[in-house]
């Protein structure tokens, strides 16, 4: 490796005093946390110095921010309703940190050295039938002529490259409310860091450039139990009698497990349950930046979390016939004679390639995602000696839920770790026995943990049918007497408690 002289570092200030690019600094940054292992190259890395080249290296490709405004627990509140208000929670900014290696075979002058961070979106505007591709955020820092170079090389000199490897360290702040990295059939938001050396002629007649992608992730402030999900829906139904529905997750994030428990305390003898399913609908708000005020809404296909029983897609009669033919019927009421029946499963949310985390309040983005959790029971009622009853679908739960992002799911985290220890802990890992990252956990361990939570929650559920005697149940825990056939009603909006 050719040697090169080290000149005093100079700073070119950007929009913040903490943003800078520093020339001729050889650095090696350790891992910020154990899940993101893409670090700066160690000093022993060899380079081919016979050809000019620019190489961009980042300390981490994951950037975590927290927008201000409402907290996670109030994220679903409608501020237009009475009682809705901002929490005025301060945001937390992120940082892009790395180095730009510039190889120069000879001592040369260049016009300047620039590092740019840019976010671009590409969204589908269905009303116009076209894609909108725009830059939605950009910031850059420069290395330009400095006083030391003027004294050493004379006036008019621009940035001087020494023979060999010239290394420039840079750091940029990412505001808390920037658009986060997104990808979906409706569009995407992509972040790119680009390092450019502006040439002046000769061997460096063309610009030298290198770029790499980063992933800006917005996660909520870790309040006590903020990411936990506990849903307890207990009521008295004219169809199911006294029932209890519980959905729990120790950490309700992308790719996490979801414990499901459904209990009937007095099974009707005429009831047959063919399937139980739990799934997500994701709603997307698409905002055009090219045409201010244009907003479109879309909904993704449902994403199954758990399906116990045959898949739908059959006629009402065929649905029941297939369940009996495959011997997948979950419950035959006549076999229990009014006894208690318990159903328990542990489902799993899909990864970030299939679903998107909930967009946090305060994030200024053109793609905003929200999620709706649905729990359904497929059943029919057949009187003794009568024909097969019509297959119906009871929607026992349908509400918006918050899903946090697990930034460690990104594939680039599989690179080796060069650091022996972590000087800064940006990701909490495992704290207090609470799993907050699914990457380091085996599925059987996560499943066992959720089953333990489900077992503990059973002690607080209804065990005595007389517990609801004379109780005026709220509307979201009781069923409506309205009944419809399953066919022709799958795509319409269903209210909680309606039977189809």
Give the confidence band of 235 by pLDDT, cuts at 50, 70, 90.
Answer: confident
Whether residues 267 and 209 share a domain: the answer is no
Whether residues 255 and 202 share a domain: the answer is no
**Residue 347, φ and ψ in degrees, nearest 5:** -90, 175
Tell me what pLDDT residue 186 has: 92
Domain boundary among 163, 192, 218: 218
For the stretch 299-328, pLDDT in tens is 989 899 998 888 755 665 667 777 888 888
For the stretch 351-410, pLDDT in tens is 887 889 888 888 899 999 999 999 999 898 888 877 778 888 899 999 999 888 865 533
How is residue 221 written in tokens?
């402030």
Whether residues 330 and 351 share a domain: the answer is yes
Give the confidence band of 458 by pLDDT, cuts at 50, 70, 90.
Answer: low
Whether residues 249 and 300 share a domain: the answer is yes
Structure-model confidence comparison of residues 128 and 49, the more confident one: 128
Q: Is the predicted pLDDT of residue 473 greater than 80, yes or no?
A: no
Whether residues 309 and 446 share a domain: the answer is yes
Is residue 357 domain-resident?
Answer: yes
Give the confidence band of 335 by pLDDT, cuts at 50, 70, 90.
Answer: confident
3-state helix, strand, coil in the chain (%, to 5): 10, 40, 50
**Distant-in-sequence, close-in-space partners of 283: CB < 8 Å, separation ≥ 6:** 297, 298, 299, 300, 369, 370, 371, 372
Whether residues 174 and 234 share a domain: the answer is no
What's the mean pLDDT in 3-19?
37
How is residue 109 written in tokens?
């002058």
Smallest Cα–Cα separation from 341: which of 330, 350, 352, 351? 330
Q: Is the predicted pLDDT of residue 37 greater than 50, yes or no?
A: no
For the stretch 256-271, pLDDT in tens is 889 999 999 999 889 9
Tell me what pLDDT residue 9 has: 33
How is residue 231 written in tokens?
């849903």
What's the mean pLDDT in 236-263?
89
Q: Is the predicted pLDDT of residue 15 greater than 90, yes or no?
A: no
* Cα 328 to Cα 325: distance, rounded to the nearest angstrom: 8
Distance of CA 53 to the CA centre of its chain: 36
How is residue 291 written in tokens?
């045409």
How is residue 53 written in tokens?
């080249």
Q: Is 293 exposed, middle or buried (0-12, 13-18, 19+ CB in 10 A)?
A: exposed
* Cα 413 to Cα 396: distance, rounded to the nearest angstrom: 39
Rounding to the nearest 10 degrees, give the CA dihedral for residues 485, 491, 497, 499. 0
Domain boundary among 165, 187, 218: 218
Q: Is the predicted pLDDT of residue 47 greater than 90, yes or no?
A: no
| Entry field: residues in the chain | 500
Q: Is the predicted pLDDT of residue 476 greater than 70, yes or no?
A: no
Query: 16-30, 31-45, 329-343: lowest mean pLDDT where?
Result: 31-45
For the stretch 81-113, pLDDT in tens is 444 445 667 788 889 999 999 998 888 888 888
Provide the number of structural domains found in the chain.
2
Whether residues 377 and 357 share a domain: the answer is yes
* Cα 154 to Cα 57: distance, rounded to the nearest angstrom: 32
**Residue 108, φ and ψ in degrees, nearest 5:** -140, 165
Query: 18-22, 62-66, 315-319, 472-476: lowest mean pLDDT where?
Result: 472-476
Beta bridge partners of 55: 101
Domain boundary among 179, 198, 218: 218
> Is this structure's pTM higher than 0.85?
no
Is residue 287 domain-resident?
Answer: yes
What's the mean pLDDT in 48-68?
85
Secondary structure class of 334 (helix, strand, coil): helix
Is residue 410 domain-resident?
Answer: no
Give the confidence band of 202 by pLDDT, cuts at 50, 70, 90.
Answer: low
6-39 burial, b at 16+ Cβ within 10 Å, e below that, comes to eeeebebebeeeebbbbbbeeeebebbbbbbbbb
Is residue 3 domain-resident?
Answer: no
Is residue 420 domain-resident?
Answer: no
Beta bridge partners of 97: 171
Is residue 110 domain-resident?
Answer: yes
Smallest Cα–Cα separation from 232: which of 404, 469, 394, 399? 399
Is residue 177 domain-resident?
Answer: yes
Whether residues 195 and 141 share a domain: the answer is yes
CA atoms within 13 A on the CB side of 428: 12
What's the mean pLDDT in 186-208?
81
How is residue 407 written in tokens?
């930034």
Q: Is the predicted pLDDT of residue 118 greater than 70, yes or no?
A: yes
Is residue 209 domain-resident?
Answer: yes
CATH number, domain of 171, equals 2.60.40.640
Q: Is the predicted pLDDT of residue 128 greater than 80, yes or no?
A: yes
Q: Where are the alpha helices (DSSP H) in 348-442?
A: none
Whether residues 235 and 375 share a domain: the answer is yes
Tell me what pLDDT residue 146 has: 58
Q: Is the predicted pLDDT of residue 145 greater than 70, yes or no?
A: no
Tell me what pLDDT residue 82 has: 42
Q: Domain range spanning residue 196?
A: 20-218
Whether residues 123 and 258 share a domain: the answer is no
Q: Where are the alpha helices (DSSP H) in 196-350?
A: 316-325
Stated as kind and residue range, the H or E segment containing 196 is strand 187-198
Beta bridge partners of 217: 64
Structure-model confidence comparison of residues 499 and 294, the more confident one: 294
The DSSP 8-state label assigned to residue 474 in this structure reads -
Whether residues 469 and 395 share a domain: the answer is yes
* Cα 257 to Cα 452: distance, rounded to the nearest angstrom: 12
* Cα 306 to Cα 291: distance, rounded to the nearest angstrom: 40
Whether residues 186 and 263 share a domain: the answer is no
DSSP assignment of 118-158, as one string? EEEEEEEETTTTEEEEEEEEEEEEEE---HHHHHHH-TT--
Give the confidence band of 475 by pLDDT, cuts at 50, 70, 90.
Answer: very low
Q: Percent of the chain having pLDDT more than 70?
A: 62
For the stretch 410-451, pLDDT in tens is 333 333 334 444 333 333 333 333 334 555 556 667 777 777
* Cα 30 to Cα 421: distance, rounded to the nearest angstrom: 7
CATH number, domain of 283, equals 2.60.40
Q: Is the predicted pLDDT of residue 41 greater than 90, yes or no?
A: no
């Amino acid at each position: 490796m050719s040697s090169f002289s080290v000149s005093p570092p100079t700073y070119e200030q950007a929009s913040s005093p903490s943003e800078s690019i520093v020339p001729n600094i050889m650095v090696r940054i350790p891992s910020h946390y154990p899940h993101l292992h893409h670090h700066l190259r160690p000093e022993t890395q060899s380079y081919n110095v016979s050809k000019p080249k620019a190489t961009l290296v980042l300390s981490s490709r994951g950037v975590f921010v927290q927008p201000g405004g409402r907290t996670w627990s109030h994220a679903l509140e409608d501020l237009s309703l009475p009682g809705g208000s901002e929490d005025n929670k301060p945001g937390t900014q992120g940082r892009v940190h790395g180095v730009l290696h510039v190889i120069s075979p000879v001592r040369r002058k260049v016009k300047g050295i620039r590092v740019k961070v840019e976010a671009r979106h590409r969204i589908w505007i269905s009303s116009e039938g076209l894609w909108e591709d725009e830059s939605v955020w950009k910031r850059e820092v420069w290395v330009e002529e400095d006083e030391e170079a003027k004294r050493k090389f004379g006036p008019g000199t621009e940035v001087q490259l020494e023979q060999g490897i010239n290394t420039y360290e840079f750091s940029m702040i990412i505001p808390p409310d920037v658009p986060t990295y997104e990808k979906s059939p409706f569009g995407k938001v992509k972040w790119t860091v680009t390092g450019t050396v502006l040439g002046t002629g000769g061997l460096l007649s063309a610009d030298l450039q290198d770029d790499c992608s980063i992933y800006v992730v917005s996660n909520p402030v870790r309040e006590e139990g903020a990411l936990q999900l506990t849903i307890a829906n207990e009521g008295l139904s004219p169809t199911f009698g006294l029932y209890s529905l519980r959905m729990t997750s120790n950490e309700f994030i992308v790719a996490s497990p979801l414990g499901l428990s459904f209990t009937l305390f007095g099974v009707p003898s005429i009831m047959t349950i063919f399937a139980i399913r739990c799934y997500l609908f994701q709603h997307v708000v698409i905002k055009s930046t090219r045409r201010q005020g244009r907003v479109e809404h879309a909904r993704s296909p449902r994403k199954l979390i758990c399906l116990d029983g045959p898949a739908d897609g059959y006629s009402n009669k065929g649905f029941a016939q297939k369940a009996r033919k495959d011997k997948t019927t979950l419950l035959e009421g006549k076999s229990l004679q009014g006894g208690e029946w318990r159903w328990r499963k542990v489902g799993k949310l899909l990864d970030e390639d299939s679903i998107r985390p909930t967009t946090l309040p305060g994030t200024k983005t053109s793609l905003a995602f929200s999620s709706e959790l649905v729990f359904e029971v497929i059943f029919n009622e057949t009187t003794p000696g009568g024909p097969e009853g019509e297959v119906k679908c009871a929607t026992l739960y349908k509400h918006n839920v918050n899903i946090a992002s697990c930034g460690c799911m990104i594939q680039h985290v599989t690179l080796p770790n060069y650091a022996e220890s972590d000087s800064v802990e940006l990701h909490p890992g495992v704290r207090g026995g609470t799993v907050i990252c699914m990457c380091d956990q085996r599925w059987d361990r996560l499943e066992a943990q959720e089953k333990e939570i489900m077992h503990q929650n059973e002690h607080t559920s209804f065990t005595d049918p007389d517990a609801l005697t004379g109780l005026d149940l709220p509307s979201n825990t009781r069923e409506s007497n309205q009944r419809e056939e399953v066919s022709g009603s799958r795509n319409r909006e269903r209210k909680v408690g309606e039977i189809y």
